[in-house]
Amino acid sequence: MSGRSGWDGLLLALALVSSTGLLAKEIPLQQVHVLAGGDARLPCDVSSMESGDAAQLVLWYREDLGTPVYSMDARGGQLQRWSDQEVLDGRAHFWADRRPAELLIRRALASDAAVYRCRVDFRVAQTRNSRVNLTVIVPPTRLLIEDDAGHRFTSVAGPFSEGDTLHLRCIAFGGSPPPTVQWFREDEPLGTLGVVLPDGSAVRADVTLEGLQRADLNTRLTCQAANTELTAPIEDSVLVDMNLRPLDVRLLGVSQPLSAGRRYDLLCQSSGSRPPARITWWLNGQRQQHSKLTTSVDGNTTTSTLSFVPSKEDDGRFLACQAENPNVYTDVPEDGAKLTIHYAPEVTVSLGPSLDPTDIREGSDVYFDCRIKAQPQAFRVQWLHNVSALNVNDKSGVVLSNLSLVLQAVGRAARGNYTCVAFNAEGSGQSRPFPLDVLYYDICELLFFILSIIARCDGILPLKHLNRVLAKNTWNLEKRRADIRCEVDANPPAGAFRWAFNSSGGGDELAGSASISYTPHTDLDYGHLLCWAANRVGRQAAACVFHIVPAGRPDKVQNCTVGNVTAHALSLRCAEGFSGGLPQSFLLEVREDDSGELRANLSAGAPTFHVQQLRAGELHHLAVFAYNSKGRSEPVFLAVTTMAALERQLKAGHHGKAAPWALCH
């Protein structure tokens, strides 16, 4: 049969359907489940207990439609099949030779779900009916996990903080019949089942975890949705992300003293924070900069390195580091320590408070106080006078008492800068120099003593000393005026002077200040000119003595040396003798030994000569004179032989009388 219009033989069957409708509920109902898209097999028993009997007509009905949707007719000897194209669309085929026979519906659709009835008419046996409830299962299509605010989560939920309440909901979309939705913590069911939303479009299941703890970090929460055992449930999982407070904080590297001025890398470590802790440094409540954060590979430990250069002012201050997670509202843990800073001594020197630094006089006792600030304590103290270390002992009058320096009966040599130096394990510290000024007078006593020795010992002192003394204190005058200055070493400088003249003719007081003009007129005007100076400390005890003597001829030169003798030249150097009180010059005469011929006649302002154009290999006599306006000195004689010519040396050898130098006699 190809259509309903050709079904005259079925009209009777249609009538029977309506007549037997009341009996359908009494027919046993078989259950068949199939996934959408799979093949549905609806069983129908077509076997007969009667011998030679066989099914002649098989009709399949959908009870919700009330009309056949498929038939197989064997009446008339020819097997004919029919399928409702609007319902089954050519997807159905009845397999009568299977046991039991079955209606195969390929690629089952959700719309195929219904209660089907199979009617079988036999040749002999009575008509048989069977019912099949076909359930076409459509699995849920997708899951959605979100929080109460509508934030969707895919792989990670959160972050949440310790103590928070976690509340998530899982929504399963699609699925026929409506799926069962359930939450699992790791692999343990949480006992929360889903409910169908009012519009029937989805199923929702909620999960709540109160008072989250550190152990809940990375907990896996899984939502499953399933409506059949024919396929695995669909699921979606999220890991619980959490912000964790720091568990601890530890300050490292400050248990030992630190040295001022040295750079240190101080460490502060904190563990347990998620995300890594933010570490800050504080010195006496002030935020410190120049720190650097590093995190361990596992992210559990955070280390902050502070580049710190302590100063002595940091001694006793409190250095602390704090670790915090800004996302977690809790107390901020802190670790700190009181700093011990070592530094080199800082030294100051002061004069004793009872002393007036502007009125320290010779013979006074002076003391200084050395004040030292050091960490650790100084183990040695040294005093310097100018740049030299002081020899501390009672015999020298230098005494050290604790940190005080005592100078007993100071003299003018005690003038200068005094410095205190202290030493500890960090190094040394030196005070600023303290200048000590000693007031004194009278410096001519030693000079007068020297002159007395000269007069008494008649030239026993070396001549160079005599020359120095006479040059300053002996005036050779020939009825000429001389400006003589009385120079004394006094502190403060001398402000008053007294002059006197002493000779064989008697003594006279002379008027004058620091300088005096003196002119001898007769022989009685030669003698000793005396000067006394005074300052606010006192008056000079021993006078400065100036010897006024008549001018005379100079003394002869001393210590003559000949050098650089060649075949035709030589050099001569002598030391000056006493000038006689007048400007002196020097004369050199060079004569040949055999003939006495004058070879050179040289004069100079100093007793230094260079003679040239001499004859080679000859003996020469040298005479040196000093002269002034009063006449010549006694001569000094020398004998020198020039070197022979080269060809004569080669023939005669080295038997000449030439000498590289000679001394005066």
Please give the torsion angle defined by the CA atoms of residues 509, 513, 516 and 521, in that order, rounded to the nearest 10 degrees: -20
Nearest to 545 by CA among 446, 653, 408: 446
Contact 62, 116 (CB under 8 A): yes
The predicted pLDDT at position 16 comes to 41
C-beta atoms surrounding 452 within 10 Å:
11
SS3 227: coil
Nearest to 476 by CA among 549, 554, 583, 577: 549
Task: Give the pLDDT band of residue 537 (cuts 50, 70, 90).
Answer: confident
CA distance 606 to 341: 69
Contact 621, 594 (CB under 8 A): no
Q: What is the pLDDT of residues 328-383, one digit of tens each?
A: 888 889 999 999 999 999 999 999 999 999 888 988 999 999 999 999 999 999 99
Q: Euclidean distance between the first and final Cα of the chain, in Å?
A: 173
The predicted pLDDT at position 647 comes to 43
CATH label, 4-136, candidates 2.60.40.10, 1.10.357.10, 3.40.50.960, 3.40.50.300: 2.60.40.10
Question: What burial letters (b/e) apply to 353-379, b meaning 16+ CB within 10 Å?
Answer: eebeeeebebebebbbebebebbeebe
Tokens of 608: 């230094």
**Topology of domain 558-652, CATH:** Immunoglobulin-like (2.60.40)
CA distance 473 to 583: 16
Task: Give the pLDDT band of residue 455 (cuts 50, 70, 90).
Answer: very low
Contact 587, 556 (CB under 8 A): no
> 248-339 falls under which CATH superfamily?
Immunoglobulins (2.60.40.10)
The predicted pLDDT at position 545 comes to 84
Type of residue at 655: H
Contact 236, 155 (CB under 8 A): no
Q: 3-state SS of 424-490?
A: ECCEEEECCCEEECEEECCCCHHHHHHHHHHHHHCCCCCHHHHHHHHHHHEEEECCCCEEEECCCCC
Nearest to 45 by CA among 100, 96, 98: 100
Type of residue at 307: S
pLDDT at 446 over 60: no
Nearest to 444 by CA among 529, 504, 526, 361: 529
Parallel, antiparallel, or unpaired for β 318-324 and 278-283? antiparallel
> 148-243 falls under which CATH superfamily?
Immunoglobulins (2.60.40.10)
Residues 6+ apart with CB under 8 A from 314: 258, 260, 283, 339, 341
Q: What is the pLDDT of residues 112-162, one digit of tens each?
A: 999 999 999 999 999 999 999 999 999 999 999 999 999 999 999 989 998
C-beta atoms surrounding 252 within 10 Å:
14
Distance of CA 286 to the CA centre of its chain: 19
Q: What is the pLDDT of residues 464-488, one digit of tens each?
A: 333 333 444 555 555 567 778 888 8
Residue spans of the domains in the chain: they are: 4-136, 148-243, 248-339, 343-439, 445-550, 558-652
What CATH code is assigned to 343-439? 2.60.40.10
CATH label, 445-550, candidates 1.10.3720.10, 2.60.40.10, 2.40.110.10, 3.40.50.170: 2.60.40.10
Domains 248-339 and 445-550 share a fold: yes
Contact 273, 245 (CB under 8 A): yes
Q: Please give the model's pTM, rounded to 2 decimal places.
A: 0.55
Contact 438, 491 (CB under 8 A): yes
Tokens of 385: 């006078």
Task: Give the pLDDT band of residue 527 (cuts 50, 70, 90).
Answer: confident
The predicted pLDDT at position 115 comes to 96
Average pLDDT over the chain reads 84
Say if residue 159 is preceded by a cis peptide, omega within 30 of 0: yes
pLDDT at 434 over 70: yes
Residues 6+ apart with CB under 8 A from 651: none
Q: 3-state SS of 583-608?
A: CCEEEEEEEECCCCCEEEEEEECCCE
Strand partners for 563: 571
